[in-house]
A and B are shown apart, each in its own frame.
Chain A
């Protein structure tokens, strides 16, 4: 694909409204002929998560907002389906809010279906009966409730157990007499055609709940036609897609939160795990015809699997995928997949090959493709920042699908190796070596031996030298200061705790001096606990022993040992060189 071909966009930018302020998730926007007049409208939900605002169901005619209804709760999914064959054909719109399915027809509320509650434990039922009895000891009964596993309780009991004690009686009296229900929210929805593959044929809503149950509903009576578990292990559906017809043979493919993909076929009461992914599934589409499952993962990959779960291909994408959308192109008899990418672009893939891209103002949040108004091929992009963007696919666009083969593997550019230039110095050195290798070798060996000798000497020196007054392992440091001119000196030692976390304790300092030369005021100092990063100062008076004639002796060193109590090895040793006694001072 050359750049020139890409520059002429295959998409007409029909309309873009940055101030729409929509918060629409994937699978929450559809194109449907809601009025039955052949003029397809865009229906979407606008979600508000704030407690004081309500989510809305909006209908756009062309680019104009024509209907705006408040929803009772946060919607999770939106579908449209035909429920009868009466003329004019008007589809129903269904919104999943919590565990209710709200059905609208002609933009008016039409019916409300509630997911059947799951059974509660007998003990819980019993407790609520007892709450209703007069003179009931709430605290006593609540302990019974606590013995039930928390996630098996109904929402009512769950909330009761989290309430502060003073609100409990009021809360209980609000509900007395009513049996608690344990309902499960609808998390995902889709439709399944009843007996015809036709676009406007009667279809059944398919619901998936948090508890991992799939319901297939009759679109006229809203009774449950079929009910099945997603899988034999606890899995929660996230995305549901269908293929086939309910009355003939069908296949429901469910992408789960636990990163597995399960399949459910006609008559099964339990789905079968088909694929187990190691990364999070962002979105999934089924490609009709081949029955391929295309999955986008959070690790920036598109994977394609057959209906039996074998991987066909994997393709990396440039940035994280936010949503997928199937783009059926009847006139080319093919299906493309639109991939919404973070940062604001939509790439179109034909199989594993990207064939086109188009831009959106920012990261797309929901993508729909289909008929809008009278125009057959429209893509609506609703971005995370709330912009709504309409694009029309040009009728001439054929995506060069016929000459795909020419776009073979990219030709590899062979750059020369990044080798450094041979420097003059390098050449000169090697010439020199070539001329007198033997002398070079010998003088090198000689110098090497000499270096080793010096190193060994330095090592021996440092081993014998005791001057190092620090212990890295114990992280203590000792410094000394000698004050005075003699024969009386003051020796000030500072013991510092270098460790920033641990205090040191059980230490003592021992002085070692020749008694014939120096007399000390103390020979052993017990060090109190030194907190981290602090130091302790200790003072010792040193008196030089003068000979009978009053003549000072040649100065000697006093050795200091820092010991830990009841240990023979000193932690640290140092010798302090004493200054000679100042004779002039003595004479005075």
Chain B
């Protein structure tokens, strides 16, 4: 008398057909196997669940895994899958419970469980606990995903230095990970370690020459060194792979602006704005470009929007003040400058713009007072050449006090434009890395 076939006789075939992507055949086989076993084949249910989840039928998948758990309550893999389904359904609390259960059932420590617990905890906002589990996962597995989670947690906590040291450890264990290399590069960039950032990003690009994020970072570094054409070629490659990146279009716009191609700058910035209409940086840059093309009415609108979105940025107020000054609205211009000065009293760029506007409004005494303050600021800190040039011009203007009116007006107008240039230059310099940060999230 032949012994009956074991239940799990064709499990290997179920798995084989699934990984080869023969889903239809695999489903048929599963159906037959479940029928043959009278609904007792644990693995068939397990695979059925996985296939259903891959097809996006999360609820049905969950039921399948639950059947699996009923057949064998100690199957940690099935519990893990339940957790995964719940995570995909965005029920993080339940998912966390499932993974904690899996941790209990599982006979030996499993980095995946720790990693997933960490991820659930992070979604639930319990960062401290999440960090603990991410640490555990990293120690057990040294896996790229676990490292990424830990880096993400540290970055969100603002602990960039530890994040970078984790990054370096991660790169040692996964030296060919483009993501990790890029991540490290961008973190270094945020901390201002430009040289190191450049190295990391370059090695990322060596592995994947079209990695848009790394190209953006490299472009940003070259742009801040005033090599606008080099930066542009980087951005061009990146933008053909990621045409909807706000940061890319913003930086391209600023490159064109620096090359004084204002129309191109405006169209790039407007594209950025179209992708993300409430991005204050783009609005601010658009305002500055419009000021440069002497379109103060448009500039006013963009700057106004920027100020409304982020009322804590002094430079937006300075720009707004300049726009209002051009629009002959002295009263409001003064208010804008006052706000800017209140937010950042020691910023020479803001002060010099204020001086120029006051001079333009014929309020020499106040202008002179402020100019003195500006001079003292100049002695303290390091400022760019353009600010110094404007300062010199202003000094001559104040000296030839008795000259006729028309000449002075003309002169000051010239100065304003230059000083505005200055504001933007600064903005583009520190804007790009910050912009990157926004893009990462």
Interface residues of A (CB under 8 A from B): 25-26, 49, 74, 76, 98-99, 149-151, 154-156, 158-159, 162, 174-175, 178, 180-185, 187-188, 210, 232-234, 236, 238, 257-258, 276, 278, 280-282, 298, 310-314, 320, 322-323, 342, 384, 409-410, 412, 414-420, 422, 426, 430, 433-434, 437-438, 440-441, 444
Total A-B residue pairs with C-beta atoms closer than 8 Å? Answer: 147
B414 at the interface (CB under 8 A from A): no
Q: In this complex, what residue of B is CB-closest to A352? A: B176
B328 touches A (CB below 8 Å): yes
Most buried by B among A182, A433, A434: A433
Closest Cβ neighbor of A76 among chain B residues: B12
B326, A415: Cβ atoms under 8 Å? Answer: no
Assess whether A417 is in contact with B236, with CB atoms less than 8 Å apart. Answer: yes
CA distance A416 to B3 in the complex (A): 73
Is A159's CB under 8 angstroms from B4's CB? yes
* CB neighbours of A426 from chain B (8 A): 263
Decide: A181 and B21 in contact? CB cutoff 8 A: no
Chain B residue at minimum C-beta to C-beta distance from A322: B20
Per-residue interface assignment for chain B, residues 131 to 162, with 1 indicating a CB less than 8 Å from any chain A CB and 0 otherwise: 00000000001010100000000000000000
Does A185 lie within 8 Å of B8, measured CB to CB?
yes
Q: Are A187 and B12 in contact (CB under 8 A)?
A: yes
Verify if B300 is at the interface (C-beta below 8 Å from A).
yes
Q: Residue B209 contacts which of A233, A323, A409, A444 (CB distance < 8 angstroms)?
A: A409
- Give the docked Cα–Cα distance between A187 and B38 (Å): 22
Contacting pair A156 B3 (CB below 8 A)? yes
A-B contact pairs, 16 of them (CB 8 A): A74-B9, A74-B13, A99-B6, A158-B37, A188-B12, A210-B8, A210-B11, A233-B107, A276-B141, A312-B176, A414-B233, A417-B268, A426-B263, A433-B297, A434-B293, A437-B294
Contact A282–B19 (Cβ < 8 Å): yes
Q: Which of B1-54 contact A (CB under 8 A)?
A: 1, 3-13, 15-16, 18-22, 29, 37-38, 40, 42
Contact of A150 among B22, B71, B112, B174 (CB under 8 A): B71
Q: Does B77 contact A (CB under 8 A)?
A: yes
Per-residue 0/1 for B216-240: is the Cβ within 8 Å of any A Cβ (1 yes, 0 no)? 0000000000000000010011011
Q: How far is the CA of A276 from the CA of B107 in the complex (A)?
A: 17
Least CB distance, B206 to chain A, in whole angstroms: 8
State A361–B12 Cα separation when bound (angstroms): 27
Question: By the criterion CB–CB under 8 Å, are B297 and A444 in contact?
Answer: yes
Alpha-carbon gap, A187 to B95, bound state (A): 33
Residue of A nearest to B73 (CB): A149
Q: Which residues of chain A have C-beta atoms less than 8 A from B236's C-beta?
A: 414-417
Smallest CB separation, B259 vs chain A (Å): 13
Within the assembled complex, what's the spacing in Å between the Cα atoms of A31 and B232? 57
| In the complex, chain A residues whose CB is within 8 Å of the CB of B264 | 419
Interface membership of B258, Cβ < 8 A: no
Q: CA of A320 to CA of B173 in the docked complex: distance in angstroms?
A: 27
Given known pairs A98-B5, A276-B143, A434-B295, the reply for A298 and B326 (CB within 8 Å) is no
Rounded to whole Å, the gap between the CB of B145 and the closest CB of chain A is 7
6 new A-B contacts, CB < 8 A, other than A158-B6, A276-B112, are A76-B12, A174-B1, A185-B11, A236-B15, A433-B298, A438-B328
> A320-B21, A410-B209 are known contacts. Are A417 and B77 too (CB-CB below 8 A)?
no
Q: Could you say which residues of chain B place their CB within 8 Å of the CB of A417?
A: 236, 239, 252, 268
| Residue B360 is within 8 A (CB to CB) of chain A in the complex | no
B296 contacts the other chain (Cβ, under 8 Å)? yes
Q: How far is B20's CA from A234's CA once the two chains are assembled, in angstroms?
A: 23
A12 to B75: give the CA distance in the assembly, Å.
51
The answer to whether A76 and B209 touch (CB under 8 A), given A185-B6, A412-B237, A420-B267, is no
Residues of chain B lying within 8 A (CB to CB) of residue A438:
297, 327-328
A285 to B293 alpha-carbon distance, docked (Å): 64
Number of interface residues of B (CB under 8 A): 62
A74 to B298, CA, bound (A): 76
B3 CB contact (under 8 Å) in A155, A412, A414: A155
Chain A proximity of B149: nearest CB distance (Å): 13
Contact status B4-A155, CB under 8 Å: yes
- Asked if B114 lies at the interface with its beta carbon under 8 angstroms from chain A, I say no
Q: Which residue in B7, B108, B297 is a CB contact (below 8 Å) of A441?
A: B297
Residues of A within 8 A of B176 (CB): 311-314
Q: How far is the CA of A156 from the CA of B240 in the complex (A)?
A: 63
Residues of chain A within 8 A of B300, CB atoms compared: 441
B267–A342 contact, CB under 8 A? no
B260 within 8 A of partner (CB): no
Most chain A C-beta atoms within 10 Å of own C-beta, residue among B20, B263, B267: B20
Q: Complex: how many Å from CA A416 to CA B1? A: 78
A281 to B71, CA, bound (A): 26
Q: Which residue of A lies closest to B29 (CB)?
A: A49
Q: Chain B residue with minimal CB distance to A25? A: B16
CA distance A159 to B6 in the complex (A): 9
Q: When chains A and B are docked, how far (Å) is the Cα of A461 from the Cα of B63?
A: 53
Interfacial chain A residues near B143, Cβ < 8 Å: 276, 278
State whether A185 touches B296 (Cβ < 8 A).
no
B209 with A412: CB separation less than 8 A? yes
Query: What's the Cα separation between A258 and B19 when bound, in Å?
Result: 12
| B290-333 interface bits toward A, Cβ cutoff 8 Å, 1 = contact, 0 = none | 00011111101100000000000000000000000011110000
Contacts of B9 in A (CB 8 A): 74, 98, 185
Please give the distance in Å from A5's CB to the nearest CB on chain B.
23
Closest to A187 in B: B12
Question: Which residue of A has the minimal Cβ distance to B28?
Answer: A49
Contacting pair A210 B18 (CB below 8 A): no
Q: Determine whether the beta carbon of A187 is less than 8 Å from that of B297.
A: no
Residue B72 at the A interface, CB < 8 A?
A: yes
* Nearest CB of chain B from residue A413's CB, rounded to whole Å: 8
Residue of B nearest to A414 (CB): B236
Q: Are B293 and A430 interface neighbours, CB within 8 A?
A: yes
Given A155-B4, A162-B40, A434-B294, the answer on whether A342 and B237 have CB atoms closer than 8 Å is: no
A314 CA / B22 CA spacing, docked (Å): 24
A276–B9 alpha-carbon span in the complex (Å) = 26
Q: Which residues of B contact A25 (CB under 8 A)?
A: 13, 16
Q: Residues of B contacting A312 with CB < 8 Å?
A: 176
Per the bound structure, the CA–CA distance linking A49 and B26 in Å amounts to: 12
Q: Which of A151, A276, A280 has the most CB of B within 10 A?
A: A151
Q: Would you call B19 and A281 a contact (CB within 8 A)?
A: yes
Provide the bound-state CA to CA distance between A416 and B268, in Å.
13
CB-based nearest A residue for B140: A276
Given contacts A412-B210, A417-B252, A437-B296, contact A342 B21 (CB under 8 A): yes
Q: Which 8 A-B pairs have the closest CB atoms?
A: A162-B38, A187-B12, A441-B297, A155-B6, A280-B19, A159-B4, A440-B297, A433-B295
Question: How far is B71's CA from A149's CA once the two chains are assembled, in angstroms?
Answer: 9
CB distance from B271 to the nearest CB of A (A): 8
Q: Which residues on A sit within 8 Å (CB–CB) of B301?
A: 444
| Chain B contacts for A422, CB-based, 8 A | 263, 267
Does chain A have a CB within 8 A of B374? no
Q: A233-B107, A384-B22, A438-B327 are in contact. Are A258 and B77 (CB under 8 A)?
A: yes
Tell me which residues across on chain A come within 8 A of B293, comparing CB atoms: 430, 434
Q: Which of B231-277 contact A (CB under 8 A)?
A: 233, 236-237, 239-240, 243, 252, 263-264, 267-268
A234 to B294, CA, bound (A): 73
User: Quick one: closest B residue to A27, CB to CB?
Assistant: B16
Shortest Cβ distance from residue B403 to the other chain A in the assembled complex, whole angstroms: 26
Instruction: Report the minimum CB–CB distance from B76 to chain A (whole Å).
Output: 9
